[in-house]
Structures are given as C-alpha cells and as structure tokens.
Structure 1
Amino acid sequence: MVGNSDFETGSGPDQDPEFQELETPEGELHLRFYIQSNNEFAIPATGIKEVIAQSPETITPIPNVSPLLLGTLNVRGRIVWVADLGQFLGDVHPLKMDRSEISVIAVEDQDTILGLAVEGIVGMAWLDLEQLQAPQSAPDSMAPFVKGEWTMGSEEAPHQIRLLDQVSILRSARWAA
C-alpha cells in the first residue's frame, strides 16, 4: 500500500472532481435536542458525559422528592438522578413516559451527574458561538439557564436554538423544591 502510485501522482479517487471534500467545521460541537413543547436547545458536547436511550421501566421513581425528578437510573453501577428537563425549564406538559425509549442526556460537574430526560435528540451540530445572540424570547422560568440563542432556518420560518448552561441546571436550587 505504501508503494501505491496513487499516493504519489494524485490520481486516486479523492482527486475525482465529483468527490466532495469535507469542510472544516466552524464553531463548537453541540448536542441539539428538543423538549415536549418542541422548543429546541443545545448543550456543548464538552459538557455531556453521555446520551442514553432508556426504557421508562428502568427509571425507578423515588417518593418525596422534587416533582421535577422522574427517579433514578443505574448506569454501569452508578446511580444517576433523572429529571424532566422540559418541566424544569417551565414547560407545562410533562414528559410522556408511555413509550419504548426515553432520551436522557447525562451531564456532569465535579463528580455530580444528572440525567436530563428530553422529548427527542436532533443530533450533533457545529454551532458558531460568534453568531450566538442574547436570549430575547426565553420565558422567565428558563432565562437563568440560557446563555444565548441562535436563529436558524429561513426568514419565512425562523426558529431558535437556545444554548443551555448545564452547570447552572445541575447546581440549581429548584431540585430541592
């Protein structure tokens, strides 16, 4: 393979004019997801421990805790509290538990892990922090946890992606309520 002449002459398949080069991504890698109200959010990939798709039956409800907490989950021997992120952010509709899988985003700060249950995962995306705008349309209930927002889509059908501060969510006093 080292002696392959394609490497030397530039006549390999990557020199084909129809071959598309990968573009260098701009910005930082984020996980995009949405909650029950279809509001879309992002968290920096560096702030995520892992994303888990779990059956609702594996989340053990715990009595006498905040109604925002759905229960606990055993992730490879470690107990992780799971919260309804939508309700935490002020969404009036609770997460629907009558389905085969729930997406849980595990975030960590100083050895504290919290699972944020969301309606669905959009995927990973490179988002440019230079295009991040001050949050303008975030309700008061979520404003302390939103760092900013991006406007995406067309002028006719724009939508916001709000950047969340996962550390503020993790350390919030709302969990004690």
Structure 2
Amino acid sequence: MIGNPDFFTGRGQDQVAEFQELDSPEGELHLRFFMTSGDEFALPAVGIKEVIASPPDRITPIPNVSPLLLGTLNVRGRVVWVADLGQFLGDSVPLSTDRSEIYVIAVEDQDTMLGLAVDLINGMDWLPLDDIQVPTNLPDGMAPFIRGEWAVGDAQDRHLRLLDQVAILRSARWAA
C-alpha cells in the first residue's frame, strides 16, 4: 500500500522516489547514557519500558533496604524501585540527587520493573552488533552485567559498554 503512488498526496511519483531512497539504519536501536564516573553505557531499546526525568522529591526513600536503592517512584499508579545504576556497577561516587531532575530508565522483565538512575541521557543511536567486541579491563563487579563493548572514537581507552538489563534485574545484589 505504501509503495502505491496513489497513497501519497502532492507530488505523486516524485514523493515515492524520495521515500524509497531513505537509508535503512544498520544495527539495533540503543539508548546511550553516562554514569557519574563519565563512563558511557548502552541498553537495547527493546528492553526499555520508558525513560523518565523525575524531580528528586518524587523518589520516596525507603528505610532498611539495599544502599543501592534510592527509593520508589510512582509511575502512573505503579510503584517502581529506583536504583543508582552507577553504584550497582561499582562506581565509588554515588549519583547526586541535588539537581532538578534525575534520569531514570525503566527496564522490565517478566512483570518485574526496575528504574535505573543514571547521570545523563546521551540519546538513541543505531549501533552495529557486528562491531561489538569482548570487553576488556572490566571490574569484577561489573563483568556479569556487560554483554560487550564498542570502541568510541579514536581513543582506544574509551568504550561504550552494552549492558544486559535482564542480568541486572535478576541480580542477587538487590537482596544485600
């Protein structure tokens, strides 16, 4: 139907030619973001329920839970636990809550939803899975949650690391 010239209005055949010339993106769509440490990570878009920019006072602290958890957030009537993803992965510097908004990436697996608080959202990007490399120099605490990495730019010491959101959700660290 879309390839049918009668479907388009306006310039007709010219518009069909323009539509067919669009390049299809290569790879898979990922959300890129930064931790407090400055390290950049990515999550597959298909594993993300939504991205929320929340004022810190909307995250309710809960006493006597894992220090990795910032508290809970009400997302359209659903209570979602929010975790400091950087601390979970071993960053020594906790996420600063002294700011106007905290970025929370809600991931879900089998009706379990968790909000991952990050320092900065970098945007969506199509990343080629053919170029992913085996991670190098990973801290032991981070290794079980990394699927691979891409080299970023010309610098060999900078990497974009691909996270496994299911491994994060199912981690035994949440019980600590």
Same-fold status (TM-score > 0.5) = yes
The structure 2 residue matched to 1:6, chosen from 11, 32, 39, is 11
Instruction: Report the CA distance shift for 1:69/1:7 in structure 2 as closer, same or farther (over 3 A).
Output: same
Residue 115 of structure 1 aligns with which residue? 115
Residue 175 of structure 1 aligns with which residue? 174
Instruction: Report the CA distance shift for 1:48/1:4 in structure 2 as closer, same or farther (over 3 A).
Output: closer
Residue 160 of structure 2 aligns with which residue? 161
Aligned-pair distance for 1:6?
3.0
Instruction: Report the CA distance shift for 1:71/1:158 in structure 2 as closer, same or farther (over 3 A).
Output: same
Structure 2 CA distance, aligned partners of 1:59 and 1:4? 48
Q: 3-state DSSP class of the match of 1:6?
A: coil
Aligned length: 169
Unaligned residue ranges in structure 1 (runs of 5+): 16-20
Residue 32 of structure 2 aligns with which residue? 32
Identity %: 66
Structure 2 CA distance, aligned partners of 1:4 and 1:144? 52
AA aligned opposite 2:11? D
AA aligned opposite 2:167? S
CA RMSD of aligned residues (A): 2.1
Structure 2 CA distance, aligned partners of 1:125 and 1:146? 18
Q: 3-state DSSP class of the match of 1:99?
A: coil
Q: 3-state DSSP class of the match of 2:166?
A: helix
Residues 48-107 of structure 1, C-alpha deviation per residue, up to 9 Å, x if partnerless?
000000000000000000000000000000000000000000000000000000000000
Structure 1 CA distance, aligned partners of 2:136 and 2:129? 16
AA aligned opposite 1:159? R
Q: 3-state DSSP class of the match of 2:168?
A: helix
Matches within 5 A, 1:12-161: 22-154=22-154, 156=155, 159-161=158-160
AA aligned opposite 1:160? H
Unaligned residue ranges in structure 2 (runs of 5+): 1-5
Structure 1 CA distance, aligned partners of 2:98 and 2:32? 23
Structure 1 CA distance, aligned partners of 2:120 and 2:130? 26
Structure 1 CA distance, aligned partners of 2:138 and 2:30? 19
Structure 2 CA distance, aligned partners of 1:4 and 1:45? 33
Aligned-pair distance for 1:31?
0.3
Instruction: Report the CA distance shift for 1:4/1:53 in structure 2 as closer, same or farther (over 3 A).
Output: closer
Structure 2 CA distance, aligned partners of 1:170 and 1:103? 18
Q: 3-state DSSP class of the match of 1:134?
A: coil
Structure 1 CA distance, aligned partners of 2:10 and 2:76? 49
Aligned-pair distance for 1:138?
1.7
Structure 2 CA distance, aligned partners of 1:27 and 1:138? 24
